[in-house]
A and B are shown apart, each in its own frame.
Chain A
Amino acid sequence: MTLPCRWLAAVPLLAALPLTTVGAQTAEDFDESRAYLGESPMFDAFYPDEYESLATLRREGRVNDDTALLVLNRGETTLALLTMQMSYHHIAQGELAGEPWMVSF
């Protein structure tokens, strides 16, 4: 019997994978000799203190349906950042519903 690929995807595959992983790098592994440590930021981080409605931005044409976003969910609130804008800032940080948040990219 030939099964479609999409259902074969359900076959457990763990046995085919190696089981030895070492976890994430830690501070103990940090090799300062190959780190570039600038004396000042190369880019300006983004510290917004107010937010706008995504629906409004869409109506105004500042974004379209395919615009790339980075999205953070905090309780019932969804906060979006434009991926292209974050490709400059790299870090955005603020407060939402009284709680601090930060996105790195």
Chain B
Amino acid sequence: MICNTGIGLIPSVDGTVHTFTEQGLYDGLFLMYDIESGSHWNHMTGEAVRGPLRGATLPIENVFHTSVGQVLHESPDAQVAWSEHPAALQRSGDGGGTLRRLLGRITGVPDMFPATMGEEDSRRDRMEMGIGIWKGDLARYYPVPVVREWDNIVFDDFGGENVLVYYDPSAFALMAELTDASGASWNGSILLLSNGDRIEDGILYGPGGERKERNRPLQVFTRWYGFSLTFPEPEIFDRRPISDQ
């Protein structure tokens, strides 16, 4: 949570669903633990790092940071897993809580974290937010301040694929999307792409106004320390706009 990393995993090992808990800490990230085997798992890569299942992996999938308003635009029938746990209710009082409120509560890592952390990558600030994307051995980080300098729109070549990284004002988060567009501009909160597509309220529409399927790389909207300790020496998108150089 301190690193803000949200990941989806399929909790099934050789066709059997295991029950997972949070138990332990490594690199300032919590470790998952499955009750059935007693193994510890990296929650960002889905790999068992200790115990009988060491080396096994769980399939991972994207989980997106977004907002109620955005989801209700995109999926009016969306379901919620609502927790009645007192500690969870305490945190989600007053209308559920915004991402800004959550991030604003966290200004550094707790005292017990540094002893678990490997050598940190000093190229960016430990607590800086950004979006990390990865594919195979290729991992790249797009810091929020850098994307902001590009008017919240960055196009990049990622392993031979054209990726768009942008700040989604309806989700209050950075997003990454594979696209055949080569440029984009804002019309208010609507992102107009050069191929005729547009992204509005977090929904991708084609030139004719039809909804289009998303093609999104694996991504996490996370803090620098969590991404760079999990993916050592990642590439950083740190180019400034030419007009600023």
A9 close to B83 (CB less than 8 A):
no
**In the complex, are the beta carbons of B67 and A100 less than 8 A apart?**
no
Q: What string of 1s and 0s marks CB contacts (under 8 Å) between A1-32 and chain B?
A: 01011111111111011111111111100111
Q: Which of chain A's residues have a CB closer than 8 A to the CB of B80? A: 51-54, 57, 79-82
Bound together, the chains give a CA A23 to CA B239 distance in angstroms of 22
B138 at the interface (CB under 8 A from A): yes
In the complex, what residues of A have CB within 8 A of residue B42's CB? 25
How many chain B residues touch A (CB < 8 A): the figure is 108
Neighbouring B residues of A23 by C-beta, 8 Å? 134, 136-139, 231
- CB contacts (< 8 Å) of A100 on chain B: these are 10-12, 17
| A: contact size bracket | 35 or more
The answer to whether the Cβ of B98 comes within 8 Å of any Cβ in the partner chain is yes
A43 touches B22 (CB 8 A): yes
> For residue B19, which residue of chain A has the nearest CB?
A93
* Contact between chains at A24 and B81 (CB < 8 Å): no
B145 within 8 A of A: no
Per-residue A-contact encoding for B148-184, CB less than 8 Å = 1, 0 else: 0111011111000000000000001000000000111
Complex-state Cα separation, A67 to B76, whole angstroms: 15
Q: B64 contacts the other chain (Cβ, under 8 Å)?
A: yes
* Contacting residues of chain B (63-93) with chain A, CB-CB under 8 angstroms: 63-69, 71-72, 74-83, 85, 87-89, 91-92
8 closest residue pairs by CB, A with B? A67-B96, A65-B69, A84-B97, A23-B137, A78-B75, A51-B79, A68-B99, A10-B183
Return 8 A-B CB contacts under 8 Å, by A number.
A5-B151, A10-B184, A25-B230, A55-B77, A78-B75, A83-B97, A84-B96, A105-B63
